[in-house]
Homo-oligomer: A and B are copies of this chain.
Amino acid sequence: MRYLMTPDKTPSAWFNVAPHLPEPLSPPLHPGTGEPVGPDDLAPLFPMALIGQEMSAEPWIDIPGEVLDILRLWRPTPLVRARRLEQALDTPARIYFKDESVSPAGSHKPNTAVAQAYYNKAEGIGRISSETGAGQWGSALSFACQLFGLECFVYMVAASYHQKPYRRVMMETWGGQVVPSPSDLTQAGKAVLARDPDTGGSLGIAISEAVEDAATHPDTHYSLGSVLNHVLLHQTVIGLEAKQQLEQAGEGLPDVVLGSCGGGSNLAGLALPFVPDCGGANNGSGPRLVAVEPSSCPTLTEGRFEYDFGDEAGMTPKILMYTLGHEFIPPPIHAGGLRYHGDAPIICNLVKNGWMEAIAYPQGKVFEAAVQFARAQGPIPAPETAHAIRAAIDEALAAKEAGEERVILFNYSGHGLLDLAAYDAYLHGQLVDV
C-alpha cells in the first residue's frame, strides 16, 4: 500500500531541530585560530541565507516558492507499507518506508541541492564547486544547478570516477563538469598526488579540493551534501511528510525510526521531526530513533566524541562530533555514501545524549537484506539504504519474537540501479565482507 499526497501538500517550511536538542550545539572552530567561527568566516564559501540557517534557532524556516516549485517535481514522495516484506518475514510488525528514490537523481540528496542552488543563485553566484564519493551528491547538485542555470564543478573520488563511470555520465547529462580527485587543479590535490601518484583518493581529500576551488575562484561558492545543520534542515521535508502520511495510514507515532548514517542527512531528514516526540524528550514514551552505519566505518558506535576537521587536509572548521579521525580512510565498501570519518553534529548531539541509538552492520548482512527486500517488494535499494533495511528487518523479527505489533519506519533513501555491480559481486560470492 502506498500513501500519496498531491504536490500542493509538500511542506512549506523546514523543521529546525535546534531548539529541541538535548543541549545546545557547540560552535565550529576556525582551523587556524581555534576560535569559534562566525558568519564572516563562512561567507567566502556559502551564501548568507544558508549561513543564517546554519546558526538559526527559529523553530520553522519558510521554503522559498522557487524551491518548492522544483521539489514538487517529485514531492511529496510516497510512504509505502511493505506488506509483502512483512508477509515474507511473517511478522506482526507493520513496516513503512519513505521512498526518496523517486527524485530525478534517485535519492534524497536533491532536497538540499535544490535549496542550496537557489540561495546561491539568489545571491548572484554563478558557479558551485563540490565533491562526491560514489556520485549521489554530485549528481543531485548537477541536477539542481542545471535547473537554476548555475555551473557545477565536481571533484569525484578517483577510485569511483574510474570504477563507476555511470554517475559521472549522469552528472554530465545534467551539464555538470567532473574531474577525478585528487586532481592537479588544486594545491591540496597536488600535495596528495606528490605523496602518492596512484592514490584512489578519498572523500576527505575531495572536500579539501572543492573548498580550495571555491576559495580561489571568482563567483564560486562551495556546497556540501551532508553533515552541516542547514543540509539536515532541508531534508526535514522527508519526516514532515511521513508524519502526515502515517496519519493517512491510520497510524499514530511509529515505534522506531531508522535511517542509514554516513554524514547523517537522510537519517536526519526522516528522524528530526520526531525528536520532539522521541524517547529522550518524553521519558521513553515516544519513538526510538536509530542510526545504522557500516561496521567498517563505525563512527557513532566506535568513534571518539571530539573536535575534528571535516576534511582530510584540515582546511574546514573543526566541528564537535563522533569521529574516527580525519585521516581515517575506510575500506572500499559498496555503500560509498557511508564512508565518512565523522557525522553531523546534530546527529552526534542526539546520540551523545542518549536520544538516538546507533547500530553497525557488516556489508554481507546488508546485501542479504537488500536482496530479501528486492525479492519481496520489487525495488532494488542502494547499498547505503540497505543498511536501514537490514535494521528494519531485524526490528521486525524482534517484534515477531516478542509477539508485538510494532510500527517500523525507515528511509528508503535511494535506489541501487547504479550499484548493480555490487549486487553482482554479492550474488556470485565475491563480496568482501567487512
Contacts and interface: CB of A to CB of B under 8 A. Distances in A.
B423 A169 contact: yes
Nearest to A102: B102
A239 B73 CA distance: 22
Interface string A405-434: 000000000010110110110010000000
Interface in A1-40: 1-2, 4, 6-7
Interface string A370-405: 010011011110000000000000000000000000
A174 to B, nearest CB: 6
Contact of A147 (B102, B170, B378, B420): B378
Contacts of A309: none
Contacts of A364: none
A241 to B, nearest CB: 14
A175 B375 contact: yes
A421 B166 contact: yes
Interface in A335-392: 371, 374-375, 377-380
A284 interface: no
Contact of A427 (B173, B375, B415): B173
A166 B175 CA distance: 24
A172 interface: yes
A332 interface: no
Given A4-B6, A6-B4, A418-B417, A169 B427 contact: yes
Contacts of A4: 4, 6
Interface string A142-168: 010011000000000000000001100
Nearest to A415: B417
A169 B2 CA distance: 27
A180 interface: no
A67 to B, nearest CB: 14
A104 B378 contact: yes
Contacts of A2: 6-7, 72-74
B427 A146 contact: no
A423 B173 contact: yes
A218 to B, nearest CB: 25
A41 B105 CA distance: 48
A121 B6 CA distance: 37
B170 A377 contact: no
Contacts of A84: 73, 147
B169 A421 contact: yes
